[in-house]
Structure formats: structure tokens, C-alpha cells
């Protein structure tokens, strides 16, 4: 491995401070340490993992933050590198339902966050009306729209497939994942694969047909939950991780940067990876880059919550609706419930003879509804929505509520251009690099890529000061 060298009077390997101990920060710290840097990771809270958090519920390890890994190349490579491949478990095949117009309808095959890829499965699903289906079927005939730099996913999908596809499919799938408004979410930032198809092809359906169906990536986890990944990321490295250390400011000094903590002298760094939510990054960067901080403050967020509800298996066994992997609820429903994952149907290790585990999700951008409810009321209201959707009338025997204030960044139209501007402004400080969901996309796969890219950028920036 290359060894990064320090600047000026400090001898030995370069010292890089990583601020933020979520997945992006942990991945960056690991990679930098493997590149030969001396790494200190500073995390404000008492635990590492950020939005990955596994807790014990009814003697099982359950994730109350991120719930599954996407089985795609960067994820699989990292899991392999840290020796966890053998411990991966794959979600059972099966699809979720859409709860629309009072009915549960199977999510048609081939529909993902970027919308439909095939017409035929939509024909039989009854999620769309006959009129909506007829409009969707016209997609190959719709001329390519005016070329624009970025566009809302909802606007693009509606123009190509009609409003029903946006409202009944893309809203619950993509809008649900982001807890966001699909008319505002940026196509380039949230579904770059669709943006790519849109620029290179006239028809999305024809482009998918030409490529062939391909199997969708599987959803993965560990029987001990996703904290298993977090716990392993720094293993075998010399990264010094300090918890309970909220960074206040990053300031440029003659030979690098000073990182101010809550107390005591600042930490000297040759480079800093800022792996924080955008508003926290804005605060710490204000002393050195006011304009950048103002731009970062423009990234809005959604507050979300998850409720893990444990039901008596005798109450759930006869409920047919609970045999799918879960359900998604369009925002137009006005329901508090945004999605439910039937954990005991989805994961073999949670298929317990006496308990049925369900994970209920709530919270949408620009809605304060969940913050106005206390934990008991939130759990009760979500349980009521679940009952209305599935017919499950009994009450859970145990619930665990987790709140995620301002957790999900809203990557809205213009996000990629804003990020380009922010990174352009920061180019005057090549040792300061951003990483994480607020910049490079929501989800663990995107955060892994972002953390790795940040580490590589720092390695490159430090190379001229004395690479061996
Ligand atoms: C409920 C929920 C469900 C999700 N489900 C999935 C899923 O199933 N699959 C998936 O791929 N993704 C999922 N996601 C998204 C995914 O978890 C996130 O995109 C990802 O974990 C974000 O990682 P990050 O490192 O960018 O940020 P974070 O995880 O937010 O980490 C940032 C860290 O910075 C720390 N921090 C903040 N301020 C300071 C400071 N001043 N000084 C030091 N440290 C500070 C925070 O405490 C935190 O630990 C989900 C998210 C949520 C909330």
C-alpha cells in the first residue's frame, strides 16, 4: 500500500481526521488507514453507525435504521474485503404490495425506484386503472422531451407514462425510500440510471427491452443485523475512533487544518473528510467556507421514524396479506403509514414460531405529523393503518420506536449542480472532502461508494506533499 506523508514539520504518515461515524465516514476511515494514513474518526454520538442501528427486540436483532443492503458490486466487494461474505443472508424472494384506493395490489415485477421497466407485468397487476394502463402503454410512442440538465422524477415519469404511474408506483417506491416528494426529487441525483437512459434513448421501455430483463439485485443482511457491518469496518485497522466528540469547526492553518472539538486543544490534520449530514457540515465549515456552508444549508431533510411491532404468531398466521414481504403506501392516501416490512416473511432468520415481526415506517418531507405524536400514539396510529390495510386486528405484544430527526436528505432538482458548485468552492482546500448520503445519494451502497471516493480523493490530494 502507498503511504501518505505529512506536510511540513510533522513527520510520519499523514494524519487525516474523518468527521462523522456513519457508514460513509467509517468506509473512508478504513480505506485511508489501509492507504497508510494515520486516521482519527470523530463521532458526536455515543455509537458508530449513524443511520445503521441494530437493537434487540424479543430476543432478535432487528434494524431500526437501514434495514437491508443492496447486493451490488461495491457492497459485495466491501463485505468480502472485511470477511463477512459467509455471514450474509438473502431476503426471501417475493414482492411487496401497494395499498392503493383501499386495495392491496401486488407491486408489478420490474417496477423499481426509477419506475417501470416492462409493460406486461403492469397489465395484470390492477394497480393502474384501464385508462392509466393505456396511457402507460403509449410510452414508446412519446417523443423525447426537450433536453434539460435536471428534472423532477415525477415530471419525467408523468410525461412518459402518465400521472397514474407517478402517483401509484413511483411515489410509493421512490418517494417512500426518500420520504420525499417525487415531483421535487432530482432525476440525476436519485435515479441516475434513469437519467442516463433518458439522455441516450427515446423510450425507456424500449431501452430496457433492448438490454434484456436481468435479475434485480437481492436484498442482504446478517442474522445479527446491519450493525455487524459497522462493527467490522474498522477491524484490523489502526483508526482511532472517538465517540461523544461533536466537532465544532474546521479551520485552515498554515500546515493543514485544525479540527475543533467540544473542549481541549484542536486536533491538527493534514486533511479532513467531512462525512456529516449537510446541515452539520455547514456548521463545521462556516469558519473556512461561508458560501459553501450557505449552499449546504439549502439541502433540506425529512424526519422519519420506524416502529418495530412484534405480534403473536397465532394472530398473524391466518392473515393472507402478511405473506408478501411488505406494503407501500402512496402519499396521496393521507395515511401516517408510509411502508410496512413484514420482517418474518422477508427474512428466514426472523421467521419465528411464536412471534411475527413487522417494521412500520412513517414520516415525509415537509410534514411535521410524526413529531407531534408521542411514541405510544405513533405506534398505535401505525398499527391502526396496518390493520386497515391487512385486516390484522390484534395489538402487538411489544413495540420498539426509533426516531430519525432530519435524517433523509432531499436530493431535489438541481442537487447535482449544487454539489458541483460546492465541490468547486472547496477545491481551494484540496484536503477537505465531503462524503455521505447528503451529497452522493441515499442508501448504503451510495455511501460506501462515496466514502471510498472521498478516501481516494484525499490520498491524491496528499500525494504531492511527499508520497513514497
Ligand atoms: C429509517 C431509515 C431506513 C433506511 N433504510 C435503508 C435501507 O434499508 N437500505 C439502505 O441502503 N439505506 C437505508 N437508509 C439510508 C441509509 O441508512 C443512509 O443513507 C446512510 O446510512 C447514511 O450514511 P452517512 O454516513 O451518509 O450518514 P449518517 O449515517 O447520518 O452518519 C453521520 C454521522 O455524523 C455524526 N455527526 C453529526 N454531527 C456531527 C459532528 N458535529 N461531529 C461529529 N459527528 C457528527 C452523526 O452522529 C452520524 O453518526 C435508511 C435510512 C433511515 C433513516
Give kind and range of the element (H or E) at residue 330.
none
Torsion of CA 23, 28, 34, 40, to 10 degrees: -90
Q: How far is the CA of 366 from the centre of ligand 1 (A)?
A: 19
**Shared domain check, 133 and 277:** no
Instruction: Find the CATH number of the domain harbouring 176.
Output: 1.10.3110.10
**Shared domain check, 446 and 422:** yes
Residue 392 backbone phi and psi in degrees, to 5? -75, 105
The last residue of one of the domains, among 381, 409, 437, is 409
Residue 211 has pLDDT above 50, yes or no: yes
**Shared domain check, 165 and 83:** no
Tens-place pLDDT, residues 454-466: 999 999 999 865 3
Tens-place pLDDT, residues 153-197: 999 999 999 999 999 999 999 999 999 999 999 999 999 999 999
Total domains present in the chain: 3
Is-above-0.75 flag for pTM? yes
Q: Label residue 123 by pLDDT band (50, 70, 90).
A: confident
Distance from C-alpha of 159 to C-alpha of 139, rounded to nearest angstrom = 9
> What percent of the chain has pLDDT above 70?
96
Q: Which of 41, 53, 66 is the best mutation target for the ligand 1 pocket, counting ligand atoms within 8 Å of the beta carbon and taking the most?
A: 66
Q: Label residue 100 by pLDDT band (50, 70, 90).
A: confident
* Ligand 1: nearest atom to the Cα of 48: 49
Tens-place pLDDT, residues 48-63: 999 999 999 999 999 9
Q: How far is the CA of 31 from the centre of ligand 1 (A)?
A: 19
**Shared domain check, 415 and 294:** yes
Distance from C-alpha of 418 to C-alpha of 415, rounded to nearest angstrom = 5
Instruction: Find the CATH number of the domain harbouring 59.
Output: 3.90.660.20
Range of the domain at 176: 111-211
- Establish if 271 belongs to a structural domain: yes
**Shared domain check, 345 and 265:** no
CA-wise closest residue to 431 among 7, 123, 2, 112: 7
Tens-place pLDDT, residues 217-238: 799 999 999 999 999 999 999 9
Q: Burial of 292 by CB count in 10 Å (0-12 exposed, 13-18 middle, 19+ buried)?
A: buried
Residue 349 has pLDDT above 70, yes or no: yes
Instruction: Find the CATH number of the domain harbouring 264.
Output: 3.50.50.60
pLDDT, residue 5, reads: 47
Q: How far is the CA of 50 from the centre of ligand 1 (A)?
A: 4
- Establish if 227 belongs to a structural domain: no
> Taking CB atoms and a 6 Å cutoff, what residues make up the pocket around ligand 1?
19-25, 42-45, 50-52, 65-68, 70, 246-247, 275-277, 280, 284, 304, 306, 404, 407-408, 436-437, 442-444, 447
Amino acid at each position: 500500500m502507498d503511504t501518505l506523508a505529512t506536510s511540513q514539520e510533522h513527520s510520519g504518515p499523514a494524519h487525516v481526521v474523518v468527521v462523522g461515524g456513519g457508514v460513509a465516514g467509517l468506509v473512508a476511515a478504513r480505506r485511508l488507514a489501509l492507504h497508510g494514513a494515520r486516521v482519527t474518526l470523530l463521532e458526536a454520538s455515543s455509537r458508530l453507525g449513524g443511520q445503521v442501528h441494530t437493537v434487540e427486540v424479543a430476543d432478535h436483532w432487528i434494524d431500526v435504521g437501514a434495514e437491508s443492503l443492496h447486493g451490488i458490486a461495491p457492497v459485495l466487494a466491501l463485505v468480502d474485503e472485511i470477511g463477512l461474505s459467509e455471514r450474509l443472508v438473502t431476503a426471501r424472494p417475493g414482492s411487496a404490495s401497494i395499498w392503493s384506493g383501499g386495495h392491496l395490489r401486488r407491486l408489478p415485477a420490474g417496477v423499481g425506484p426509477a419506475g417501470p421497466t416492462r409493460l406486461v407485468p403492469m397489465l395484470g397487476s390492477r394497480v393502474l386503472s384501464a385508462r392509466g394502463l393505456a396511457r402507460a402503454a403509449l410510452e414508446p410512442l412519446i417523443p423525447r422531451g426537450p433536453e434539460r440538465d435536471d428534472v423532477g422524477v415525477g415530471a419525467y415519469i408523468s410525461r412518459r407514462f402518465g400521472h397514474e404511474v407517478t402517483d401509484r408506483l413511483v411515489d410509493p417506491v421512490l418517494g417512500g425510500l426518500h420520504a420525499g416528494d417525487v415531483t421535487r426529487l432530482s432525476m440525476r441525483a436519485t435515479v441516475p440510471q434513469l437519467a442516463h437512459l433518458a439522455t441516450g434513448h427515446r423510450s425507456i421501455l424500449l431501452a430496457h427491452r433492448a438490454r434484456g430483463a436481468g435479475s434485480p439485485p437481492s436484498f442482504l443482511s446478517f442474522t445479527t443485523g446491519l450493525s455487524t457491518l459497522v462493527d467490522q469496518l474498522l477491524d484490523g485497522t489502526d483508526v482511532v475512533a472517538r465517540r461523544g466528540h461533536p466537532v465544532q469547526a474546521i479551520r485552515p492553518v498554515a500546515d493543514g487544518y485544525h479540527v475543533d472539538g467540544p473542549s481541549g486543544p484542536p486536533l491538527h490534520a493534514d486533511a479532513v473528510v467531512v462525512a456529516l449530514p449537510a446541515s452539520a457540515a455547514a456548521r463545521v465549515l462556516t469558519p473556512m467556507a461561508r458560501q459553501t456552508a450557505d449552499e449546504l444549508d439549502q439541502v433540506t431533510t425529512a424526519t422519519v421514524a420506524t416502529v418495530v411491532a412484534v405480534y403473536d404468531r397465532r394472530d398473524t398466521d391466518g392473515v393472507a396479506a402478511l405473506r408478501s414481504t411488505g406494503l407501500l403506501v402512496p402519499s396521496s392516501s393521507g395515511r401516517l403509514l408510509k411502508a410496512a416490512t413484514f420482517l418474518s416473511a422477508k427474512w428466514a432468520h426472523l421467521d419465528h414460531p411464536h412471534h411475527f415481526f413487522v417494521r412500520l415506517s412513517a414520516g415525509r418531507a415537509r410534514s411535521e405529523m410524526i413529531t407531534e405524536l408521542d411514541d405510544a400514539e405513533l405506534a398505535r396510529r401505525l398499527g391502526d393503518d396496518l390493520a386497515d390495510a391487512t385486516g390484522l386486528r390484534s395489538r402487538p405484544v411489544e413495540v420498539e420506536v426509533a426516531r430519525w430527526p432530519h435524517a433523509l436528505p432531499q436530493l431535489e432538482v438541481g442537487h447535482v449542480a449544487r454539489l458541483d458548485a460546492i465541490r468547486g468552492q472547496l477545491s481551494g482546500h484540496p484536503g477537505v472532502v465531503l462524503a455521505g448520503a447528503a451529497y452522493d445519494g441515499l442508501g448504503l451502497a451510495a455511501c460506501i461508494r462515496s466514502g471510498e471516493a472521498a478516501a481516494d480523493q484525499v490520498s491524491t490530494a496528499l500525494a504531492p506533499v511527499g508520497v513514497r
